[in-house]
A and B are shown apart, each in its own frame.
Chain A
Amino acid sequence: GESVGLHLPTLSVQEGDNSIINCAYSNSASDYFIWYKQESGKGPQFIIDIRSNMDKRQGQRVTVLLNKTVKHLSLQIAATQPGDSAVYFCARTGNNRKLIWGLGTSLAVNP
């Protein structure tokens, strides 16, 4: 069946280090992948997206990498800051008009 999973449920990094959050997916039919950030007490907020015809896309301090061969998606955060502490969700389009969501990775940034 279709699914989006996570390699690690929690990640702890030192302030200033780079963070890498991973997602694996099982169905290769998806053509659009998205990362969301959810801070405590708030709804998820869009970070960055990538289409399946790309391998890499960069934003401000964030990079998303897509490896379709091994069905793996990652979010890299450069120079992680305390404000980056949140739960990060990957999501992808399924075979219909719905998104398929991962379970989330909690990122904790240590000062």
Chain B
Amino acid sequence: AQRVTQPEKLLSVFKGAPVELKCNYSYSGSPELFWYVQYSRQRLQLLLRHISRESIKGFTADLNKGETSFHLKKPFAQEEDSAMYYCALSHSNYQLIWGAGTKLIIKP
């Protein structure tokens, strides 16, 4: 069955420290993976997708097919990174399958 797992409900790090938000997936086939972010009182927005291989707001994520992971990383966390982060996987033609989300808190 297709599934996205984000093992941490909450991750709290100090400003300036590295951040890694974990995402593991289960999917038969070649998945497309995404990270969405939801800042406080704002809407869900796409942060990055593995195909584009971009760095957005200092975040990167590498698809590791061997480990079936797509962890989100940032070398130096900033206070404005505090948000809810969701990992999602494309399934069939249209729908996204979502992880439960990780709340990231950056402490000053």
Do chains A and B stick together as partners? no
Partner-A contacts on B (CB < 8 A): none
